[in-house]
Structure 1
Amino acid sequence: MSAEEAPARRYAGTRVPRVEDARLLTGRGTYVDDVVRPGMLHACFVRSPLARARIEGVDASEALALEGVHAVFTAEDLNPTAREQWYTLIGKDVPDTPRPPLAEDEVRFVGDPVALVIADDRYIAEDAAELVVVEYEPLPPVVDYATGRESGDLVHEGFPNNIACELAGLPVEDLPVFDEAAFTARETIYQQAYAAVPIETRGLVAEWSPSTGEMTIWAATQSPHEVRLFCARLLGLDEHRVRVVMRDTGGGFGQKVLPLREEICVMLASVKVPGPLKWIEDRRENLLAAGQARHEHADARIAFDADGMILATAIDYVQDVGAYPTPAPMNTCAVVGILFPGPYRIPQGTFATTGVFSNTVGRTAYRGPWQFESVAREVLLDIAAREMGRDPAELRRKNLLRRDEFPCTNHSGMPYSDVTPLETFEQALEMLDYDAFRREQERARAEGRYLGVGTSTYIEPTTDSLSLHATEGATIRIEPSGKVNVYVSGGSSGNSIETTVVQLTADALGVDIEDVNTIQGDTAVTPFGGGTGGSRSGSMNAGAVEATASILRERIAAIAADRLGVSAEDVETVGGHARVRGKPETGLPLSEIASIAYFQPESLPPGVPPGLEASGRYRAQSPVIWANATHLCTCEVDLTTGAVKLLRYIVSEDCGPMINPTVVEGQIAGGVVQGIGGALYEHLAYDEDGNPVSTTFMDYLLPTSTEVPVIEYGHIETPGPGPGGYKGVGEGGAIGAPPAVVNAVADALAPLGVKITRLPLTPESLVTLVREAKARQEAAG
């Protein structure tokens, strides 16, 4: 059996039950708050009550006098001890924005950490935090990012006009097509701030050993090796002196990819206290200070010819980056502009993007950080269709790229390949029976009921070979018993990467899945990897497992061939046995081959090393691996109450061959529910003084099972480049859902002349839109 010849797949593509469910569903998971260390201390932050103020002084004397309090650290204590503060994911030389561990001189949003209290337990730490007296001189905050560029106040000195980043292409004025086209749709579309809201909030246990100069960190993270590298740089330690352990992580969605300011403070403080230090964020802190996402707007345009063919697109995009964005915001700003053409046949266009500071919580990564390109494009397409008197589905059908048109390049210079936009679109319409729904809609309108249908089609970048996390490693050890352990970097935070890796390894080695175990999330034993983010886990781990398994397959074949007196090319591995092709009764169990490899090295064939353990690394074989999907939603809107009831939700997805269809559909479902929440419920709102008004689940509304319909799935499988043809699927649901829901609601209200350009679609906002539309109709006679 050659190294390139993998055994036939038995498990990939099947609905293998998740291996992690046994412990998670019985309450035997290990989260950061479950970690208890001898002599452990607890941390609590003193946070700013003001959106912007000068810090005049901090008096911690009363807090320090409280029994059980060990220390109160301020910026003067912690910040100077930080060495390097850059992220491996981004790189050392990428321009970044300010990010002090504790607030220096000024606080810049409500919740800004000013001091860190260390005590025997969390209760004492919280009591002590209330005793810390901070004198503030209030300053006028920049609350509305949309007007931040015109404000005379600055969030950060050194950033004129509060501009964090900007990038512009060809000026729209230099594209005469928008003036000459038969029709140009143009709207300014707004999306509100909302947040990742993982079930498990952020948390960290940092244990410093002065005698050995070693740091051990238990972290709720999506990328344990990123945390390790960051901590080593932050504290000026050699990497091998830092160990990061990630057990179970209750959701991340981008919020837990990189260490944020609180985690940085805990790392810095841990070397100054007499025991391990734990910080667990409570829910109010998470909604107050863990980051915002999605707060943005854009002036978007699409030009059409008389037949409805798209001639050009342009977007002028503005993003709220808050006070302390993590990571640097340029990447997502640029990607919104680059991907705005989406999966459509568009010959020309341009974009401009700007990130603006505000005195609100900093922007963080969140499932599909560039998602607004789909919101703006898909909502504007529906508006254009109605204004041209065309059905939105027919307008898309004219312009969506087909499978046979790839590879191609969009007008921003982004190369597309291996996707099926028109095909997923048609599948979604067929699953609904679009024509039948339109007939039902007409009957309902005649009865005074308002039904709507909306679609959203997008193309998304998943794995790429351009970032600093462009490779992934795996180590596989076939034990002397013949059982298999596979080590990968980890980052499993609900994305089932444990199950996925076990499936892939069982197939790659031709062994029974019950004989495979995976070890993840411990930087002391696992190979370096980028973790979970950017929809990279499936394809990158598939590549790493295959690169490593091919080494072991070659050894297994050589040993078996030598014992059986055949050529290595005649050996195949099936069901944990190395057998002679065509002679299933002739072969050796893997346990016997392992015994030879470990305990009889003198009998190994020439050139075959002892043992059955190997490590390998994989680099993505394409600059970008693309996935695509169409989301379709139907709804009913109550004109009196503004309530939106979702009736059906359909997703037609092309993420390539599915390693585990149940896992794929679970990832889609999770993203869809988050997207529905963003369209209808969630809003991380601030008042005009910069005070957050939604820091509890009484105010920050999340969708529940009663609001979300059964999600229906359609799959089209176009292999991508790389082993197995696997693509990413983790972010798509959150990208496609908001515009599909918005378009469904807008379609329901179209007879009234309602135009929707601002999210979220709360009952109050919809009632207002209906009232205004009716007033316009009455005024028009």
Structure 2
Amino acid sequence: MNDETTNGARYVGARVPRVEDPRLLTGHGTYVDDVARPGTLHACFVRSPLARAAIGGVDASEALALEGVVAVFTAEDLNPGVHEQWYTLIGRDVADTPRPQLAEGEVRFVGDPVALVVAEDRYIAEDAAELVFVDYEPLPPVADYTTARESGELVHDGFPRNVACELAGLPVEDLPVFEEAAFTVRETIHQQAYAAVPMETRGIVAQWSPVTGEMDIWASTQSPHEVRLFCARLLGIDENRVRVVMRDTGGGFGQKVLPMREEICVMLAAPKVPGPLKWIEDRRENLLAAGQARHEHADARIAFDADGTMLATAIDYVQDVGAYPIPAPLNTCAVVGILFPGPYRVPQGTFATTGVFSNTVGRTAYRGPWQFESVAREVLLDISAREMGMDPAELRRRNLLRRDEFPYTNHNGMPYSDVTPLETFEQALEMLDYDAFRAEQARARAEGRYLGVGTCTYVEPTTDSLTLHATEGATIRIEPSGKVNVYVSGGSSGNSIETTVVQLTADALGVDIADVNTIQGDTAITPFGGGTGGSRSGSMTAGAIEVTAAILKERIAEIAAHRLEVSASDIEVAGGQASVRGKPESGIPLAEIAAIAYFQPETLPPGVPPGLEASGRYRAQSPVIWANATHLCTCEVDVETGAVKLLRFIVSEDCGPMINPTVVEGQIAGGAVQGIGGALYEHLAYDEDGNPVSTTFMDYLLPTATEVPVIEYGHVETPGPGPGGYKGVGEGGAIGAPPAVVNAVADALAPFGGRITRLPVTPESIVNLVREARAREEAAG
């Protein structure tokens, strides 16, 4: 533990055990449902059983007559209570889509909340919800987003053709390269809807004090300060009268970045009931109403010269935003178009993107919301390689950008820097021994076995300085004992920010890691921060700690220099003491300096304030910090049953210097498993009438340890522009895994021809592809 790491730091860069683990692994974590307040009441929602219907009326009389029921709220009770409803992350002036708290006039998806029942316990609330009568007049639903623009029905009045947002570059017809190139490959690629499925579902406890006009909230959230600001605006009260506490959050993956309609209802209802109000989402509700992601398709094309050099790319991208998307969908729509063609050297291109409403659950943020850009590009590259008779690895090798080509601006004007696409690609191939695998594949095919290999190389934006969450704060207090408390907005949502904060602070102040404690997730005592999202936590928190620790180190040096009668510039703060540089024996322990600062202010040098507490705020130094990786997957496909067995899964990641390699690899693994699930198993499906058909884990399939191979890691470290050179790593695993898996399966099935252009890749789709290939062979004689 005390050995210095390769960068000279004592803890940063080391595999320090997670400080969260002792409580979480022994069942001593505190989640929202563990919060018990005296007199707590419980909420349950009455939800629409129809995808689209007019609401003729709501009769709650029978529910209200049930013993233990406190109230039943409908749209007319809660919706008028809204003062302002916008998200700090997005901004006040950004165009948004309709979002009533409770359905008003019309329900727009199965699961749409119509009424909120409040009772003395959850069981009574659920019983009462079944007694609320809603008069529904069925209306034709817009169930299929792919035909919604041609439908005569509208999900929302005021949005013609059901278009929520549009953005386009140059018309593809104005690029003659696609007609003139030696090869132009074009395909429409579809990705199914799937969901975040956090281990802990959504939940909130809201307690209103009518005496003080204050709201206390305990929330399962990724951003407690966002919840605080949103609630203050919602209720029209000052933000210093709202306190939000998050303890442990059992995963969020984007679903818990922003308050959603149910949490908003609880905030609005809490001042109207005589006790704290708790709502805990059950699993069926989570799959029914917590949001969808990834439901999208694109008409994508790539033009090549005769040698396989990419000349141009174009993508016409369409995403399903459901009925009530959160947040407004334009950003992710735009990023998919602007990032295409990813980390490749392409001189020309264009894009068009469209978000379309449907009568299904609203689209929400999910780990790498622009992930489809990599799916479309990488799947199309493999198809292109097979059409041109070229190995997919060689095609990529000719076109991937190298480290020495950055900074580089793609044809859409997106500037990239500090990334290593070709280098991670080569490292992944070397870890596999690509040539040896191809030889093994040939032998297996001769034996009637079908092995495949697929890759995905991508770049992803992490921290940025362009949004309202472009700063992050920290407060560090060295106690009179010399122990250290560091306060950041943070919170434990699975990204190990507690551990990395302790590592960063221990090194920044030169103290033993055992002497550092972190306090996070309570808006009453932590500085404002953007929370966990967009792969921002590591680099932004590192910056905030660096800025704040520098203030304290200067103060410590001044105190020590005054005591030792030397210049402050001669003082070194390290090893838990301040000493004259090169003379550690002269050191004054940090505890002694703290005692001077707190208890002997008259002995402090002129201009040095008493105490050892400081706050600082960091702003990202670059418009975007980029990370990149290559995912490589090998598999074996049983062509008779369609079963896919993943053999190896390799990730070469460049997220800059690693604060904690174990944490980095854990983030990669978690995202990769979610991506594997999206490629092969998960499907948030609806029937043609807009009815969800996968609202339990019997129908919504998740990968388990049985289906996922051991993940192998390679690392390339290119420093980013921020403090320590740290980049984000939280989302990349979920971006790179799906196309790598799809391409591996397609490669295994290459002898049968056909193209895999629709996810998930199910056993049925594989068997059908093989059956069709054999039928073509028979027909050809």
* Aligned residue identity for 2:409: T
- The SS at the match of 1:254 is coil
**1:37 aligned residue:** 37
Alpha-carbon distance in structure 1 between the residues aligned to 2:695 and 2:765:
21
**Residue in structure 2 matched with residue 733 of structure 1 by the alignment:** 733
For 2:258 and 2:458, locate their aligned partners in 1 and report how far apart those are by CA, in whole Å. 27
1:682 match: 682
Amino acid corresponding to residue 273 of structure 1 in structure 2: V
Give 1:300 shift.
0.1
**Other structure's SS at 2:130 match:** helix
Is the counterpart of residue 560 in structure 1 residue 560 in structure 2?
yes
- 1:98 aligned partner: 98
SS in 1 for 2:272: coil
SS of alignment partner, residue 621 of structure 1? coil
1:345-744 maps to which residues of 2 (within 5 A)? Answer: 345-744=345-744
CA distance in structure 2 between the aligned counterparts of 1:315 and 1:777, rounded to whole angstroms: 33
Question: Distance between the aligned counterparts of 2:774 and 2:345, measured in 1?
Answer: 37
Distance 1:353 1:330 in 2: 9
Cα deviation per residue 1:732-777 (whole Å; 9 max; x = unaligned)?
A: 0000000000000000000110310000011111111111122223
- C-alpha deviation, 1:491, in angstroms: 3.6
Give the Cα–Cα distance (whole angstroms) in 2 for the partners of residues 311 and 730 of structure 1.
32
Q: What is the one-letter code of the residue matched to 1:292?
A: Q
Give 3-state SS (helix, strand or coil) of 1:635's partner.
strand
In the TM superposition, residue 778 of structure 1 has moved relative to its aligned partner by 2.5
Matched to 2:276, the amino acid is: P
Q: Return the alpha-carbon distance in structure 2 between the equivalents of residues 780 and 627 of structure 1.
A: 49
Distance 1:148 1:140 in 2: 12
Counterpart for residue 4 of structure 1: none
Q: Deviations over 1:222-253 (max 9, x none)?
A: 00000000000000010000000000000000
Following superposition, the deviation at residue 584 of structure 1 comes to 1.4
2:582 and 2:255 mapped to 1: Cα distance?
52
Q: Distance in 1 between matches of 2:28 and 2:475?
A: 26
Looking at structure 2, the residues matched to 664 and 215 of structure 1 have their Cα atoms a distance apart, in angstroms, of 37
Q: Is the 8 A contact 1:492 1:532 kept in 2?
A: no
Whichever residue aligns with residue 40 of structure 2, its letter is M
8 Å Cα contact 2:452/2:744 also seen in 1:
yes
Q: Deviations over 1:188-228 (max 9, x none)?
A: 00000000000000000000000000000000000000000
Q: Distance in 2 between matches of 1:340 and 1:725?
A: 26
Contact 1:8–1:507 under 8 Å retained in 2 = no
CA root-mean-square deviation: 0.7
Which SS does the other structure have where 1:70 is aligned? Answer: strand
Q: Deviation string for 1:448-478 (max 9, x for gaps)?
A: 0000000000000000000010000000000
Equivalent residue number for residue 310 of structure 1: 310
- Distance (Å, rounded) in 2 between the aligned partners of 1:294 and 1:480: 52
* 1:78 is aligned to 2:78: yes
Cα distance in structure 2, aligned partners of 1:771 and 1:160: 43
**1:702-748 Cα deviation digits (max 9, x unpaired):** 00000000000000000001110000000000000000000000000
CA distance in 1, matches of 2:776, 2:468: 54
Aligned to 1:264: 264
SS in 2 for 1:445: helix
Matching of residues 251-330 of structure 1 within 5 Å: 251-330=251-330
Q: Aligned equivalents of 2:410 and 2:326: distance in 1?
A: 29
Indicate the residue corresponding to 1:88 in structure 2. 88
Give the whole-Å Cα distance in 2 for the aligned partners of 1:148 and 1:492. Answer: 40
Unmatched 5+ stretches in structure 1? 1-6
CA displacement, residues 158-195 of structure 1 (integer Å, 9 cap, x when unaligned): 00000000001100000000000000010000000000
2: CA distance between counterparts of 1:582 and 1:163?
68
Distance 1:50 1:769 in 2: 35
Q: Residue 3 of structure 1 corresponds to which residue in structure 2?
A: none
| Shift >2 Å, 4+ stretches | 776-781
For residue 162 of structure 1, what is the aligned residue in structure 2?
162
**2-structure distance, mates of 1:82, 1:776:** 62
Deviations 1:573-597 (A, max 9, x none): 2221111111111110000000001
How far off its partner does 1:568 sit?
1.2
Q: Contact conserved, 1:374 with 1:456, CA < 8 A, in 2?
A: yes
Matches within 5 A, 1:109-120: 109-120=109-120
Instruction: Render the CA deviation track for 1:401-452: whole Å, top value 9, x for unaligned.
Output: 0000000100010110000000000000000000000000000000000000
Q: How far, CA to CA, are the matches of 2:306 and 2:421 in structure 1?
A: 23
The 5 Å alignment of 1:169-208 reads 169-208=169-208
Match of residue 3 from structure 2:
none
In the alignment, residue 207 of structure 1 is paired with which amino acid? Q
Which residue of 1 is the match for residue 222 of structure 2?
222
Amino acid at match of 2:549: A
Partner residue of 2:341? 341
Which amino acid is 2:652 matched to?
S
Partner Cα separation in structure 1 for residue 777 and residue 387 of structure 2: 16
Following the alignment from structure 2 to structure 1, what is the Cα–Cα distance between the partners of residues 471 and 187? 41
Superimposed CA distance per residue, residues 543-565 of structure 1 (whole angstroms, 9 cap, x where no aligned partner)? 00000000000000111111111
- What are the Cα deviations for residues 132-182 of structure 1, in whole angstroms up to 9, with x where unaligned? 010100000000000000000000000000000000110000000000000
1:649-682, Cα deviation, whole Å (9 max, x unpaired): 0000000000000000000000000000000000
Instruction: Say whether the 8 Å CA contact 2:491–2:498 is kept in structure 1.
Output: no
Helix, strand or coil for the counterpart of 1:76?
helix
Describe the SS at the equivalent of 1:719. coil
d(CA) in 1 for partners of 2:9, 2:516: 15
Aligned partner of 1:606: which letter? P
Cα drift, residue 8 of structure 1 = 5.1
Q: Which runs of 5+ in 2 are unaligned?
A: 1-6
Question: Which one-letter code corresponds to 2:214 in the other structure?
Answer: E
> What is the CA–CA distance in structure 1 between the aligned matches of 2:395 and 2:704, rounded to whole Å?
34
In 1: Cα distance, 2:491 partner to 2:584 partner = 39
- Structure 2 residue aligned with 1:123: 123
The aligned length equals 775
- SS of the residue corresponding to residue 476 of structure 1 reads strand
What's the CA shift string for 1:582-624, capped at 9, x where partnerless? 1111110000000001111111111111110000000000000
Could you tell me how far apart the structure 1 residues matched to 2:167 and 2:350 are? 11
Deviations 1:299-319 (A, max 9, x none): 000000011000000000000
Residue in structure 2 matched with residue 749 of structure 1 by the alignment:
749
Q: Is the 8 A contact 1:450 1:749 kept in 2?
A: yes
Structure 1 residue 392 displacement after superposition:
0.1
Per-residue deviation at 1:492?
A: 2.6
Cα deviation for residue 570 of structure 1 reads 1.6
- Over the matched positions of the two proteins, sequence identity in percent amounts to 88
Match of 2:4 in 1: none
Q: Look up the match of 1:138.
A: 138
Residue 567 of structure 1 and its aligned partner are, at CA, apart by 1.6
> 1:8·1:510 contact (CA, 8 Å) conserved in 2?
no
Quote the Cα distance in structure 1 between the aligned partners of 2:305 and 2:491: 48
Aligned to 1:758: 758
1:94: how far off? 0.3
Whether contact under 8 Å (2:205, 2:278) holds in the other structure is yes
Distance in structure 1 (CA, Å) of the matches to 2:774 and 2:292:
35
